[in-house]
């Protein structure tokens, strides 16, 4: 119903903007701003649905793991063309975005998946360097003590409390491993 209303508003907005159709009553600035915002939201939803349709090879309306991998591969400009995400990266993106818990990404979850992937790919080199700097054990992830040093550095050399570290660990440790890997650094 909301999409149908948005479509009607969009058509009216388009007609008014292009000067054909019935002559509408004058609109206030607030009404025009509201209509413009509704139009932009409608266009955004159309774009999200087009992305789902492009990669949804089996017509379920959701992107399963292999389809998410194809989407992430196509949208990664930080690696050579056609380089797929690692299994760890793919699993992380799905876990972060999949609010329904069904192992797939639907149109309401796609934005979170794309935002997480773009954030990761845009900061990958920096996070790899941070991981290398603070991962004293060479495990590929940061322990609680290593996270504390990382946060101290982010905090301009000022110590952080154990409670603050616990809060960051709880929020960032999406894999619930008790450590923070390079992907989870975006949440730290």
Average pLDDT over residues 88-92: 92
Contacts of 168 (CB under 8 A, 6+ apart): 147, 151, 188
What letter would DSSP give residue 175?
Answer: T
What pTM did the predictor assign? 0.71
Contact criterion met (CB below 8 Å) for 184 and 172: yes
Task: For residue 62, give Cα distances in angstroms to 39, 100, 103.
Answer: 24, 11, 10
Average pLDDT of the chain? 88
Structure tokens at 88: 């760890």
Residue 16, pLDDT above cutoff 80: no
pLDDT tens for each residue of 119-147? 999 988 888 898 899 999 899 899 999 99
Q: What is the pLDDT of residue 78?
A: 84
Strand partners, 1: none
CA torsion, points 103, 108, 113, 118, in degrees to nearest 10?
170
Nearest C-alpha neighbor of 69 from the set 96, 88, 42: 88
pLDDT mean over 159-188: 89
pLDDT (mean) for 160-178: 91
What mean pLDDT comes out for the span 155-173?
A: 92
Q: Which residue has the higher pLDDT, 110 or 184?
A: 110
The residue-averaged pLDDT of 15-38 equals 75
pLDDT band at 174 (very low <50, low <70, confident <90, very high): confident
Q: Which of 71-75, 77-81, 126-130, 175-179 has the highest mean pLDDT?
A: 71-75
């Amino acid at each position: 119903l909301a999409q149908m209303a948005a479509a009607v508003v969009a058509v009216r907005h388009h007609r008014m903007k292009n000067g054909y159709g019935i002559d509408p009553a004058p609109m206030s600035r607030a009404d025009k701003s509201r209509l413009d915002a509704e139009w932009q939201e409608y266009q955004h939803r159309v774009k999200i649905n087009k992305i789902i349709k492009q990669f949804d090879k089996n017509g379920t309306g959701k992107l399963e793991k292999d389809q998410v991998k194809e989407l992430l591969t196509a949208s990664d400009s930080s690696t050579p063309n056609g380089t797929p995400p690692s299994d760890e990266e793919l699993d992380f993106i799905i876990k972060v975005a999949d609010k329904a818990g069904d192992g797939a990404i639907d149109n309401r979850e796609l934005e979170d998946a794309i935002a997480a992937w773009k954030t990761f790919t845009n900061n990958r080199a920096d996070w790899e360097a941070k991981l290398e700097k603070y991962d004293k054990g060479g495990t590929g992830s940061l322990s609680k003590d290593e996270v504390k040093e990382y946060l101290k550095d982010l905090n301009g050399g000022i110590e952080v409390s154990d409670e603050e570290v616990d809060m960051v660990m709880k929020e960032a440790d999406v894999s619930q491993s008790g450590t923070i890997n390079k992907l989870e650094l975006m949440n730290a």
